[in-house]
Structure formats: structure tokens, C-alpha cells
Structure 1
Amino acid sequence: MADFLTDKPAKLERAFLVGVQTPEMPAGEAAELLTELKELVENLRITVAHSELVNLRRPTPSLFLGSGKAEEIITAAKALDADVIVFDEALSPAQQRNWEELSGLAVIDRQEVILEIFSDRAHTREATLQVALARMEYSLPRLTRAWAHLSRQRGKGKMGGEGETQLEQDRRIVRDRITHLKTELASVVKQRNVQRRKRQRVPIPTCAIVGYTNAGKSTLLNTLTGAEVLAADKLFATLDPTTRQLVLRGNQKLLVTDTVGFIRRLPHGLVEAFKATLEEVVVADFLVHVIDVTNPNFEQHHATTISVLGELGAGSQTMVTVFNKVDAATPEMIARARRLVPEALFVSALTREGLDVLEARCLELIAEAHATTELLVPHQRYDVIARLHAVGHVQSEEQLDDGVRLFGRYPPTQAAFFAPFVVKS
């Protein structure tokens, strides 16, 4: 788990988790988040030795918790042979360093856990670059953790102490790496934009599947399109966006993109780093928001997704809310879901229950977003018909005495070419 930026053991095996309930938080929220943190940590193949929930009136600058509580946690962690203490709160670089000096153990926070998971799961070049950038930006203010054992005294004259010199060297290395990653990422994003523009030349409608991590988004994509995206019962099973074509009734095509799942307290640096990937959300014609109806915290998951979409500038996108896993839901769960989103659809990506209703709703949204045009093309102008097939979508074609009547759509950039053949209503 460790790299050259950290002074943590090469392999962490046993974790002591610390959750914090503050007066500002709703009752029970910290316990729910701590349960989620346990699953996140286990995703890194680390055994959770114990989870402790602390009631905190106000954080302290040095350790976040009071010194007495900190000593108590450190003693308990060592008694359980834990080699890492994991906080569910974001620790400042100074707080993290103080905990490690006091305990002699590795100390990380929720943000670092999520960064490690993303690093483990990213596969495409873009996702790998985005995660590397987020990790570097997270590590830059924490470099002192790696050199706590070296001299921190400033030397006389122009030269600093041994640690100071090494620290400055590492800061330059990390800053240079961040600059390089941003340049490389900009190149990858440019390539993605070129690919997207090519897709947009053919006016095939697009939708993005969004939602909380482990809600069943990849399973839904697989069931709808016959794709083979990794779909596992764990958080962040897949990070890379996958686009597949779905053919609806009437030969209507729809490009469906599966996106990275959202999570409460998603590190802001990751939201920024993944902007390029999540642009698929912003440019989609509409969104399919998938919620696991069997999860006891689905209200919070719904709120988190809406919040992150707002951060991405996609808060006003047309959206279909879909409660998934109805095959395992109780009547009480369904009733709660209907109260939360009355117009929601209920499906099972596993059994295909309700998918016909979802596909019908997609057709309705496509019809609203892409108006169909009627054209009458003379028999001698089959080049016009061929072009409509190539750059647009033909819904129907009928041979008449005076030409061929077509109903279809084409990109706005082709409007001037097709204008002479448009039938005026």
C-alpha cells in the first residue's frame, strides 16, 4: 500500500477504525458512515480488528480528538495488534503526522482509503492518470510524514538541515510530476473529446447511468446491452466509464454509459480529477439514476448523488430515477422509495423485472429531445437517402409515386443539406 511518499509499512494487515459523531450530524449518521468505511477498508484486503465510534463536541487542532481519547485509542489499537488507524474524518497533514508520531503506527483517513481503492481499480490510461494526479495532490502537503526521522533543523547559511534539503527535493519531484500528469491528462481528454465529437456527428441519443457505488449500475448496463462489464458486490467494482449501444423498439439506438459510482465524503480532489470521465454525465441527453432499494441508507445515497451531480454542473439534467433490486425488496422498502421519489421506476437488473418500462421511458425522452423530421426525396436523389442513413437515423421509409417519404433525424450541422427535402407542416 505504501509508496515513496509515505512512511507506512509496506503491507498493512490489521486496521482499527475510528468514526466521529458530532453535534451537527444527524443521529446515527456516523455509525452508518463507519459501517461504510469498514467495507472500504476490507476492499483493500485489510482485516478490520475493531471499529470505535467517538462522540466529539468540537475537534482539536493537533489531533482532531482530545489527547486523552487519542491515548485510549492508541492503547486499544496496539492491544489488538493493529498496524494502521483509519479515521472516517479528513485529517489535516499536521494531525496525521502528530498521530503517527504519537502512536508509532500508520494513520490514514477516509480520503486516503478511497484514493488507494481508485488506484487499485483504475485500468484505462485516463483513469490511471486521474488517480495518480489526485494521489500526488493529496500527498504534496503530507511529505513531512516520509522524512520525520531526518533532521528538521535549519542549517546555517544557504544549506538547510538534511531533512529540509530532502523534503524540498521531494516537493520539487512531486510538483514536476503533477505538472507532467496534468499535461498528459489534457492530451488524453482531448482524444476523448475527438471520439465524442465523432459519436455526436451521428445523432444517436446518449444516456449516462449514475448512482451510489454498488447500486447495480454495471449489472443494469450488462442486462440492457449484453455488455460484459465487471459487476461485483463491492464498492467501486468498476471505475472506467464504459459505453455500449442499446437497441430499443423501432430500431431506435441509444448509447448508454456506465460511470464511476458516487460515495459520501468523496474526496474533492477526486471529483476534480475525474471531471473528464464524468463529462459523459454532463453531455448526455438524459441520466438514469440507479438506487439500491434494499440498502437501508438509500435516502442518503440519493442525496449524495444529487449533490455530486450539482458539483459537476449536471444538476439540471433530465433524469429517470430507477430503484434497482426490487426482486429482494420488502413492501416497506418499496413504500419508502415511493415517498422519496414518487415518479421513480422499479426494476431488477438481475431478473429483468421492469426493464420494459424503463426502455419505454427512454424512448419517450428520446422523442422529446430529438424531434423527428419528415422528408420527401425525389427518386433520382438516392444520394440524399444514403446520406441520411450515414449521418442520421431513419425511423421509417416509404416509396411513393413522387419520391421516397422518410421520417428520421439528422445533426443540426446537416440541416442546410436536407432543408430542400423537408416536408413543411
Structure 2
Amino acid sequence: MFEVREKPEMVERALLVRIYFDPREEDEAASLLEELGELVSTLGIGIVESVLVRSRQQHKKHICGTGKAAEIIALAKAHECDVIVFDNQLAPHQQRTWEREGDTCVIDREEVILDIFAKRAQTKEARLQVELARMQYALPRMARMWGHLDREGGGGAGGGGAANRGMGEKQIEVDRRMAHVRIDRARRELEEVRKQRATQRKERERLETPHAAIVGYTNAGKSTLLNRLSGSDVLSKDMLFATLDTTTRKIELPDGQPLLLTDTVGFVRNLPHRLVEAFKATLEEAVLADFLIHVLDATSPEIERFHDTTLEVLKELGAEEKQVVTVLNKIDLVTDPETLRALDRLFPDSLHVSAATGEGTERLLQKCSEVMADRVRRCHYRIPQHRADLVSLLHRDAKVLTTDYEGNDILVTAVVPASIAGRLESFTELPA
């Protein structure tokens, strides 16, 4: 009933518009407009033209001046567009003005991202997060969406009826009230999901399993890297926001230590603030991880901006102090030596990796072992057979490498986490 947009299932022809104000921002604006094209294409909408518009100052009515607005509307009509998509964030009254004057559907970058999220969300948590963000976005826009029902109704005749609508209450007021009810319900259900996730985290913490979150710009190859390292089959496609649901896999590092790897939703520039808030339950994996693996697309000409965007979102989440392992992915596609040198100058401590071919992944795993080195140590133990409980402990909470028997003793070599090392110290025979 409450959709961000009541529109046909298939919108075929879109005009993309980015309005900028400072001449120094032209390159950045062009890059953002190109990214908007990728986002719109992800929805399966055809793009007839992309227009970069400079305005001397912001105007309350259209963002740009009335003359520029008339030109944009004329261009949309000339192309017979179904929709005008703005890369700028539109206030509700601006959106209504553009639609009224242009007599066509008008949406902004935030609505595009919300529509993508709505199509891709799979788990209950992600669907709740999408619903919450969409309802918060839709609420101030209901005057536009429900204008045909903006009339008073009294008593029980027609419309919502007395059971739903009070005396003299407009349909839009009923809908707003119902929207608030749905927002409150989504928040309550999300809180339950967060409690469940907290319980799962406590179990992980009890087992002292180290945890890394894979973060980065959308379409950088995070899911492909997780698949390569874990042998799993998480959805990985060459499209923006292919992953919306958190996926965690357990792998084994070269020193035998287990590591939980979590794939997270990709970041974009100008990510709507309400989406950061709505997706806190998913993105908090980055906050709670022991360290982060920041994946960058080495082939992207915008790699530096994408890097900065990810760091900005991490800062907003409170994860900026985490140790970060920087990975330059798709390195097999970079063949120019000067480009490689430039990347190394930009990111001097980064690792060269190709998630597609496996190049560099062994070095990445070794780096993860080094990051978590203080969490484990490799030891030889001589344990009397009557203390088989300690052997069981090693099998449960450590990585047992070898087991042998000598007289009445059990000889065990294991990679042991710090959490249990103290209980076995008196049985240490010699360091491995």
C-alpha cells in the first residue's frame, strides 16, 4: 500500500540530471552522474541521455533556476522520457514541483538506491531495514503520492469508513498514521533482530574466534574475494549492490588459526544518511570485527575517491580506528607498469590480489595471520592420559596439528588461542 512510488512495473526511458554549483566540482559531478547511470541501469531502466547542469546558485523551487528547469523539462519531453532521475537530493516540495511542471515521474538518487535495495534484500533483517528506510523516505512525500485521495470523509460512507477514519479526517492523514505504525513496527522487529545478532556474537566471543569484515565500494569484488578465500558461492555479479545481506564464512589461516570472514554491503558516494542508520544492524559487523579487509578495484579511475568514501562511512559508523588490510583487487587487469607504480604510491602498504584468478590470496591470508598473531601461539604439550579432558579442550577450542603417544603421555602439537593457553601452560614441553 505504501510504496515509495506508485509507478508501472517497467520504466523504459530515463533522463539523468546532475546539477552542480561550483565550477571546481565539475569533474566530481560528472563522475557522480556516471555512477548514477550505473545505478539506474541496475534497475533495468534505459537511459536516453545524461545532462550535467551548472547553476550559479541553489534555488528553493527547483534547485536550479526556472530557465534551466524549463530546458531540462523540454529535453525530457523531446526524448519522450518516462522519468527524470536527479543525482541531487530533492526535497519533497521540489519533487512535486518538477512533476507538476514536467507532467512526468521524477525521482532522485536516494529513491533509486532504495528501489535497488528493495529488489535485492533477501533476509528478514535486510527486508526490515529496507522497509524502514523506504517508509521514512515516503512519509514526507505522501501529499504527492496520495493527492487523488486528499479529501475529507466523515461517517461510515465510502473511503476508509468510520472504523479507519475519524470525523473530518482526510485519507492522507489515515495513511500517514498507518505509515507511522509500520515504521514503529519495523523498528521493534529490527531491535529483535539486533538482539538475536548480539546473542550470536556472544557465542562467537565465547569461542574466541577472530573476525574480519570485508568492506569497500560497491562492485569492488568483495563477494568474489570471500568466495575465493572460503570456497563458498555467495552471489557475486558485475553490478552495483549485488550483496545486501551479510554473509559470514569460516576459513583457516596458514598458521592453523580459524577466522570468520564477513561480506558487507558496498558503499557509494552520497549514501543517504537514513540508509546508514537503517542498515546499522548489517554494517555494525564492520564495527565489531577485529580488523577490516578494505577491497579496492585497482582498475577504477576513481579508486582514490572510492577509498575516501569507504573511510568516511566507516568513520560515521565508528569503525575508523580499526586496523585495516588494504587490498587492490582485479590486479590481473592492470597491465600498465606506470599505473601499478602509481597505485603503490597511493596505497604503499596494500596487497595486490585477483579474486578472480586467486593471485595474491595466499599473501592476503598470511597477512591476516600476522594481524592476529598475538591471538595464538603454536605449542607442544605432554599431557598425561588421565587428563584427556585437556586433549578434548584442544580439539574443541584450538587447532590440533599432530597427536602421538609415548608411555602414559599424549604428545600434542597445536595452535592455541590465548584464551586457553594458561590452562595448559604446565603441560608445555617445548615451543614449536
Q: Please report the TM-score for the alignment, with normalisation by the length of structure 1.
A: 0.90
Q: Is the 8 A contact 2:29 2:52 kept in 1?
A: yes
5+ residue gaps, structure 1, are: none
Asked whether the equivalents of residues 379 and 430 of structure 2 are also in contact (C-alpha less than 8 Å), the reply is no
Structure 2 residue 189 is the aligned partner of structure 1 residue 190: no
1:41-60 correspondence runs (5 A):
41-60=40-59
Q: Which residue of 2 aligns with 1:180?
A: 185
Q: Deviations over 1:35-62 (max 9, x none)?
A: 1000100111100011100012221111
Alignment-derived partner of residue 85 in structure 1: 84
Contact 1:21 1:29 in 2 (8 A): no
What does residue 273 of structure 2 align with? 268
Shift of 1:126: 0.7
Q: Aligned partners of 2:299, 2:326: CA distance in 1, in Å?
A: 15
**Could you tell me which residue of structure 2 aligns to residue 28 of structure 1?**
27
CA contact (8 A) 2:403 2:410 kept: no
Deviation digits for residues 329-361 of structure 1 (CA, Å, limit 9, x no counterpart): 122332221121111111111111111211111
Between the aligned partners of 2:23 and 2:317, the Cα distance in structure 1 is 26
Q: Which amino acid in 2 is paired with 1:32?
A: S
Size of the aligned set, in residue pairs, is 419
In 2, Cα distance between equivalents of 1:318 and 1:81: 51
- Equivalence map 1:250-329=2 (5 Å): 250-329=255-334
Q: Distance in 1 between matches of 2:78 and 2:187?
A: 44
Say if 2:363 is the partner of 1:347: no
SS at match of 1:139: helix
Deviation for aligned residue 1:251: 2.8
* 8 Å CA contact 2:30, 2:52 repeated in 1: yes
Does the CA-based 8 Å contact 2:378-2:416 persist in structure 1? yes
Query: Can you list the C-alpha shifts for 1:200-250, whole angstroms capped at 9, x where unaligned?
Result: 222222111110000011111111111101111110111111111222224
Determine if contact 1:203/1:392 at 8 Å carries over to the other structure. no
Partner of residue 370, structure 2: 364
Residues 399 and 99 (structure 1), Cα distance of their counterparts in 2 relative to 1, 3 Å cut: same
Structure 2 unaligned spans of 5+: 155-164
Aligned to 1:251, what secondary structure does the other structure show? coil
> In the alignment, which residue of structure 1 is the partner of 2:118?
119
Alignment of 1:339-418 (within 5 A): 339-370=345-376, 377-394=383-400, 404=411, 407-410=414-417, 412=419
Instruction: Specify the SS of the correspondent of 1:26.
Output: helix
Q: Pick from 165, 190, 214: which aligns with 2:219?
A: 214
Equivalent position SS for 1:381: helix
Distance 1:383 1:332, change over 3 A: same
- Give a deviation string over 1:159-185, Cα, whole Å, max 9, x none: 9998x7111111101100001011111
More displaced stretch, 389-398 vs 80-89: 389-398
Q: TM-score with structure 2 length normalisation? A: 0.89
Deviation at residue 196 of structure 1 after TM alignment: 2.3
Q: 1:279 is matched by which residue type in structure 2?
A: E
Amino acid of the residue matched to residue 391 of structure 1? D
Alpha carbons 2:4, 2:134 under 8 Å: kept: no
What code does the residue aligned with 2:112 have?
V
Query: Which residue number corresponds to residue 37 of structure 1?
Result: 36
Q: Quick one: structure 1 residues 125 and 84, their matched pair in 2 at CA, closer, same or farther if it must change by over 3 Å? A: same
1:338 to 338, 344, 356: 344
Q: Which residue of 1 aligns with 2:253?
A: 248
Q: Which amino acid aligns with 1:359?
A: L
What is the identity, as a one-letter code, of the residue corresponding to 2:135?
M
SS, match of residue 390 in structure 2: helix
Shift of 1:317: 0.5
In the alignment, the residues of structure 2 paired with residue 380 and residue 388 of structure 1 have an alpha-carbon distance, to the nearest angstrom, of 15
When residues 255 and 353 of structure 1 are mapped into structure 2, their CA distance, relative to the original with a 3 A threshold, is same
Correspondence for 1:72: 71
- Which residue type is aligned with residue 89 of structure 1? N
Aligned to 2:162: none
Identical columns (%): 48
Shift of 1:415: 7.8
Q: Secondary structure at the match of 1:188?
A: helix
Distance change in 2, residues 1:369/1:419 (3 Å): closer
* Aligned residues of 2:294 and 2:326 also touching (Cα < 8 A): yes
- Decide whether aligned partners of structure 1 residues 152 and 88 sit closer, same or farther in structure 2, where only a CA change above 3 A counts: farther
Q: CA deviation at 1:311?
A: 0.8
Distance 1:226 1:396, change over 3 A: same
Calculate the aligned-residue CA RMSD, in Å.
2.8
CA shift for structure 1 position 266: 0.8
